[in-house]
Chains A and B, each alone.
Chain A
Amino acid sequence: MAGTGLPGGGVAALAAAHPAPSVFGGSANVVAVLVLLLEFGMFRQALLRDQIRLYAAQSAAISVLAVIIAAARDVPQLYVLAALSAALKVVIVPVLMRRLLRGADGEIAGSGALGLASTVLLAIAVGAFGFFAVGTLGIAGVTLPRTALGLAMAVVLVAFVLMIVRRDVVSQAIGFFSLENGVSLAALVIAARMPLILAVAFLFDLLVAVIVFGVLIRVHHGRAESLSTAGLTRLRG
């Protein structure tokens, strides 16, 4: 184009500051970002049932990511892991949690200690810390791009924020379970080829957590007649 000084080809030449990832890397990262966004979505959900639904969606995203890696990187045992984790985290745990909630009358989660917008900003700051902390470590996964590892760390830390800010037992339990999702994501990045038996053992850890939290929710509900933990700060004696 005469007179512009920058012909049409110049634009394409400019466009190489951050090289694009491969399509596989990009889509794997998108699924990892989705996991983190669902974690943030839990802040927004006021209904406990919807929060459980979000957890199921997040677990499904992890399973999808495992299948993507299994297909692209040729790690057949990940298919088994994906199926097991989908059965456990998408079906069994949500069903158990819903059954636990059936007796409880409080359908609405206790309001958080902070407003929603402030919580999100706080969680962004905490997540950023995890993101950049992992970045300085310089760990590179063999199966997935590094970004996914930072996102996994952010999921873990944001899950902590969820557990700290929310004042009801169910949100705290869901926060803990989704923390385990973040750990699974990190495991997929760093050690996708770890022996299946180990991966399954980690999954059973989650089952233990579900049982412990289930008992906790039952006991708390039986004593306090509510799912809120706000009353627990009062001194008794």
Chain B
Amino acid sequence: MASIALPVPAIQALQVVTIAAAAPGVSGVIARAEARLQGRRGPRVLQPYYDLAKLCRKEALAPEGASWFFLAAPLVAVTCYLTVPLLIPVLTSYPLPLGYMGDILGGGFILALASFVVAVAALETGSPYAQLGSSRAKTFAAITEPVVLFVVFTVALITGTDLPYALAATVRSSAGQIVRPAHLLATAALFMVILSETGRIPVETHTGTNEFGMIEEARPFEHSGPYFALLKWGSAMKQLILYTILANVFLVPWGLAATTRPADVGLAILALLGKALGIGLVVAVIDNSFAKLRLFKITEYASAAFLLAVLGVFTLYLGGG
């Protein structure tokens, strides 16, 4: 059947555009759902877009003594977040030309680089809150890092590679792949990491300015204007990227476009949004059903996620897992 086919590079660019454009909206839906769960009316779904637009019109200031790095950091961070969607299956089930530029670890490194430059910029300011946030973020990232590593090991043992496309294809291949405990355990561990990385559970309050549970939210304290907008947009993109990895690689790698036809790609965009919103609603429910832990209890949460990931590797070693 002769039909219009999108050029492959265009699809790849569309992956980045989809993530960048949809990220604030997904955050908006989650914020709305959260408000409804708490019996409030909540902000408009499009509120994050208005916030970004408003911030972009404001003046940008830097603290006295901060170097050029302070202003460069948001740009670097957003560039990192725009790079990751090139590497992961966002819209297509087949690998795109730049998809093999980096594996899961490569994507992880780029996400870590973004978080690192923001932390360094926070240190530049000399502001206690921003420093507290970046110090905490780095400490707890070191605790959740082993979990991510073991999830990657599980993927590597199942597929023999650590390419996200390969795992998605494996999961689609048979029902036995879905119910095997290693897959379920790795998915659950990754979900727990995502919950803590996006600032939901166990200690952070996502929107508030409560200093006890402040990790990610404290870091951009000193940024303002368009730079602050970039950081906010970046953290929304990070959330959507993590949701995409969870959905399209581990949880439900169906509904991706198998061809280059515009209709299929369009359906894949809708499917991605549906999946991300589904995960977001689940996250909102979880976020509102558990009490926040005290800060030093974060190791208990991390140890539970670590247990799941390690068990996943163990069951694979004895075969049949």
Contact = CB atoms under 8 A, between A and B. Distances in A.
How many chain B residues sit at the interface, stated as a range, is 35 or more
B192 to A, nearest CB: 13
The B interface, classified by DSSP as helix, strand, loop or mixed, is helix
A21 B160 contact: no
B180 A4 contact: no
B318 A11 contact: no
B167 to A, nearest CB: 8
Nearest to B260: A1
A12 B159 contact: no
A232 interface: no
A198 to B, nearest CB: 27
Contacts of B308: 37
A33 B185 contact: yes
Interface stretch (B64-72, B230-238, B295-303): B295-303
A208 interface: no
A127 B308 CA distance: 13
Interface in A1-39: 1-8, 11-12, 14-18, 20-23, 25-27, 29-30, 32-33, 36-37
Nearest to B154: A18
Contacts of A5: 100
A15 B170 contact: yes
B320 A11 contact: no
A163 interface: no
B173 A8 contact: no
A44 interface: yes
A6 B100 CA distance: 9
A20 B178 CA distance: 9
A176 interface: no
B160 A147 contact: no
B179 A147 contact: no
Contacts, number: 145
Contact of B303 (A16, A29, A116): A116
B109 interface: no
A134 B315 CA distance: 12
Contact of B95 (A1, A30, A40, A145): A1
A154 B310 CA distance: 13
A123 to B, nearest CB: 8
A4 B97 contact: yes
Contact of A146 (B93, B303, B307, B320): B320
B311 A36 contact: yes
Nearest to A25: B320
B208 interface: no
Contacts of B100: 4-6
Contact of B179 (A11, A23, A121): A23
Nearest to A146: B318
Contact of B314 (A6, A7, A120, A150): A150
B91 interface: no
Given A1-B8, A117-B302, A18 B158 contact: yes
B179 A27 contact: yes
Contacts of B321: 21, 29, 145, 147
B149 interface: no
Given A147-B320, A151-B315, A33 B179 contact: no
B95 A131 contact: no
B95 A6 contact: yes
Nearest to B170: A15
A37 B316 CA distance: 16
A132 interface: yes
B221 interface: no
A18 B303 contact: no
B1 to A, nearest CB: 18
A236 B267 CA distance: 76
A-B interface, 4 closest residue pairs, ranked by CB to CB distance from nearest: A17-B160, A26-B179, A145-B320, A8-B94
19 contacts: A1-B8, A1-B95, A3-B97, A5-B100, A7-B94, A8-B93, A15-B167, A17-B160, A18-B316, A18-B319, A20-B174, A21-B180, A32-B181, A116-B299, A120-B304, A128-B310, A131-B317, A145-B320, A147-B315
Given A14-B159, A14-B169, 14 more contacts: A8-B95, A14-B166, A15-B158, A15-B160, A17-B157, A17-B158, A20-B173, A20-B177, A26-B178, A30-B184, A40-B304, A127-B314, A131-B314, A145-B320
Interface of B: 8, 93-97, 99-100, 157-161, 163, 165-167, 169-170, 173-181, 184-185, 258, 299-300, 302-304, 306-308, 310-311, 314-321
